[in-house]
Chains A and B, each alone.
Chain A
Amino acid sequence: MRSLILKEIDELIYGSLGIIIFISFFIGGVVSIQTALNITNPLIPRNLIGFATRQSVILEFAPTFTSIIMAGKVGSYITSSIGTMRVTEQIDALEVMGVNSLNYLVFPKIIAMLMYPFAIAIAMYVGILGGWIAGVFGGFSSSADFVEGLQLDFIPYHVVYSFIKTILFALVIATVPSFHGYYMKGGALEVGKASTTAFVWTSVVIIILNYILTQLLLG
């Protein structure tokens, strides 16, 4: 079981770091530029760019936006890999051998996804870094103003809130696609359909859960 969990961490988390870093860097940069371009009043301090980037990235872009992307990347992978095993009777083979197939296939994925907050922590860091690079090297803000904005009115609970969301999103990303893959019926075409359905439902659950958690934890 330990080797299975390590394999899943490699495939689900480590294998997704590239896309997470890429997206976070540019999203952070865009947030920084958009904020700068919308500050037209000279009375508004320039440190708002760093402040807005930090808040946007930590509260929403890193945990929620990245999770929607992961629902597509990791969720589709989970549904299609388990669904293909169903179609090709590999799950039946596990059952005949006396292996609890649900436990064997899904449990390691749930445990592996508990590492997801580490990926989101990287997304937060890279997102803010992207914002800083875009803001400073784009000529929208000085480095000192940006860093001052990053430190302005920082509430550590916002990071806690963000990680609580991340853990729950990780469970959704592991379980909803697994359900759609494990209980699918049909052939190769249905594997594709199940992957699409799994992505849609995972995204819907994440967005609704995001609303409920924000209301409960920050409202």
Chain B
Amino acid sequence: MITVENIHKTFGDTHVLKGISTTFDTGKTNLIIGQSGSGKTVFLKCLLGLFTPEEGSIDYDGKTYSELTSAEKRDLRQEMGMVFQGSALFDSMTVEGNVMFPLGMFTKQSKSEMQDRVGFVLKRVNLIDAHHKYPSEISGGMQKRVAIARAIVMNPKYLFCDEPNSGLDPKTAILIDNLIKEITEEYDITTVINTHDMNSVMEIGEKIVFLKNGIKEWEGSKNEIFKTDNEAVTNFVYSSELFKKVRQMYIEERN
């Protein structure tokens, strides 16, 4: 479980995060949603330890990040997996090399043990024949799968995803969403996903945190998002005609 308590982050004169407090539960897919510029990416980078908030605290299962020593922070980071928006695969390495990289850096496993582990996680994300291909030789959806494989290869306790299905076609996007949800439940990971894709919200949003101008405007589950009267949330979530109709049908059905 990740507990965030009143964090503030500024860049120069710009106050990006203005006192956000929330919790992200273990074994659940937690979504951060909001418009572009709402502070989602900064919030996620604070959770990852890439940005240091000026105020507030972030606890990872009781361990307060700001109170950890450098060595403890390094150990904690090894328990985190991250799927970047652009996948962030190392161009100079093959798919196998990318997924093997954390194992080579932080474990003393033999090459055959590492290859076994890499084979297992690549199979888990449904990538079988791409071991020796370079990132430039595979599709965007496959790159995302490799990024997920690399993120889970060390058995992380925390998985962070920054817009994992951006740039993907709707079918592949749903496959990626479902894969993340399955992995979260299977390995009992605390997963935090940064997205503005409403399909993801409806598919896998077990807990949703809505940010607006650096403030937590609303939080709840995907079922609660249908019922909420919060105008900012409804304007954001039901901005498309399709979702407006879905909500209307839901309300009519409930009545």
Contact = CB atoms under 8 A, between A and B. Distances in A.
B220 to A, nearest CB: 28
Contacts of A92: 50, 82, 84, 88
Interface in A122-137: none
Interface string B162-177: 0000000000000000
Interface string B72-103: 01110110101011101111000000000110
Interface size class of B (residues with CB under 8 A): 20 to 34
Given A95-B50, A96-B77, A97-B78, A89 B105 contact: no
A88 B86 contact: yes
A88 B88 CA distance: 6
Interface residues of A, number: 12
12 contacts: A85-B90, A88-B86, A88-B88, A90-B90, A93-B90, A96-B50, A96-B77, A96-B160, A97-B78, A98-B75, A98-B77, A98-B106
Contacts of A93: 82, 84, 88, 90
Contacts of A97: 77-78, 101-102, 105-106
Question: From DSSP, what is the main secondary structure of chain A's interface residues?
Answer: helix
Interface of B: 48-50, 73-75, 77-78, 80, 82, 84-86, 88-91, 101-102, 105-106, 160
Contact of B91 (A84, A95, A98, A99): A84
Nearest to B90: A90
A10 to B, nearest CB: 12
B80 A96 contact: yes
B81 to A, nearest CB: 8
A199 to B, nearest CB: 22
Contacts of A84: 91
A90 B74 contact: no
Contact of A98 (B78, B85, B88, B89): B78
Contacts of B78: 97-98
A92 to B, nearest CB: 6
A38 to B, nearest CB: 49
Interface in A92-106: 92-93, 95-99
Contacts of B102: 97
With most chain B CB atoms within 10 A of its CB, the pick from A85, A88, A90, A96 is: A96
